[in-house]
């Protein structure tokens, strides 16, 4: 049985005060961490304050890192620094990073390796554009992104990676992939992982769905066999909605 993982991707939202208010409100309401991983992914300057207040059942993550440990890379944040704040997770290769900031599959691969080196669990995001889905290229896109991102990652390291399937056309648009569509693509990813590794890695890798997940659709999405959790943008900004969604995952395991 794979432990569900519910992660709120705050993107570039929330001031320090708003973030602290949120964490104080939700941290005691999260399901037991032995049963569900609940994570908030925030802007890097908030790491120290949030990790300090995460409590027993919530964990904090960053939304990006740079793959070098130090150097003349003005404006970047290193895995080494994040690790010193006891950050547990980092999102790698979010479509906004790929599309707005031009991040390539090769950079995604280096960033995953940097996160693993510092014992930060990477959430690897993959997903297709609408045009690619319409042209029946979804599987090809997922295959290219995942094969490149996992290049040189060992079977043992795969135990510390989460994959998030996020169709770009469903992010922030209110259009959710139907639960069957999401499950089918997550299933394709699971089969691909089997081809790249083996049955055990494929059975144990956790695959989230992301794209307009909210309290109204999370139960249905989580009922699908290949979906092990959700990466949630907009709806994760509201503490009550986040509490509901983390606890929806608990229902799946009980």
Residues with catalytic roles: 94, 166
CA distance linking residue 89 with residue 150, whole number of Å: 17
Please give the residue whose beta carbon sits closest to ligand PGA in the complex: 233
Binding site for ligand PGA (CB under 6 A): 9, 166, 171-172, 210-213, 231-235
| Closest approach of ligand PGA to the CB of residue 172, in Å | 4
Which residue, 10 or 188, is less far from ligand PGA as judged by CB?
10
With beta carbons less than 8 A apart as the criterion, state whether 88 and 140 touch.
Answer: no
CA distance linking residue 90 with residue 123, whole number of Å: 6
Which residue, 207 or 213, is less far from ligand PGA as judged by CB?
213
Q: Give the number of C-alpha atoms closer than 13 A to the C-alpha of residue 107, restricted to the C-beta side.
A: 12
Which residue, 9 or 109, is less far from ligand PGA as judged by CB?
9
List, as one string, the DSSP characters of 104-155: -HHHHHHHHHHHHHTT-EEEEEE---HHHHHTT-HHHHHHHHHHHHTTT--T
């Amino acid at each position: 049985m794979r432990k569900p993982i519910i992660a709120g991707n705050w993107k570039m939202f929330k001031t320090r005060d708003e973030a602290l208010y949120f964490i104080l409100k939700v941290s005691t309401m999260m399901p037991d961490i032995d049963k569900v991983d609940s994570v908030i992914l925030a802007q890097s300057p908030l790491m120290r304050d949030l990790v300090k207040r995460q409590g027993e059942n919530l964990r904090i993550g960053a939304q990006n890192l740079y793959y070098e440990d130090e150097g003349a890379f003005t404006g970047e944040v290193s895995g080494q620094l994040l690790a010193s704040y006891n950050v547990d997770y980092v999102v790698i290769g979010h479509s906004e990073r790929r599309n707005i900031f031009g991040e390539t599959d090769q950079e995604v691969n280096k960033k995953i390796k940097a996160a693993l080196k510092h014992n930060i669990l990477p959430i690897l995001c993959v997903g297709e554009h609408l045009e690619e889905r319409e042209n029946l290229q979804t599987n090809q896109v997922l295959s290219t992104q995942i094969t490149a991102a996992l290049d040189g990652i060992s079977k043992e390291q795969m135990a510390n990676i989460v994959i998030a399937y996020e169709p770009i056309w469903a992010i922030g648009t209110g259009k959710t992939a139907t639960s069957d569509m999401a499950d089918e693509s997550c299933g394709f990813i699971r089969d691909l992982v089997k081809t790249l590794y083996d049955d055990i890695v494929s059975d144990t890798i956790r695959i989230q769905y992301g794209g307009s997940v909210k309290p109204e659709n999370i139960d249905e999405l989580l009922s699908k066999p290949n979906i092990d959790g959700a990466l949630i943008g907009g709806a994760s900004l509201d503490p009550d909605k986040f509490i509901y969604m983390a606890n929806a995952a608990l229902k799946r395991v009980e």
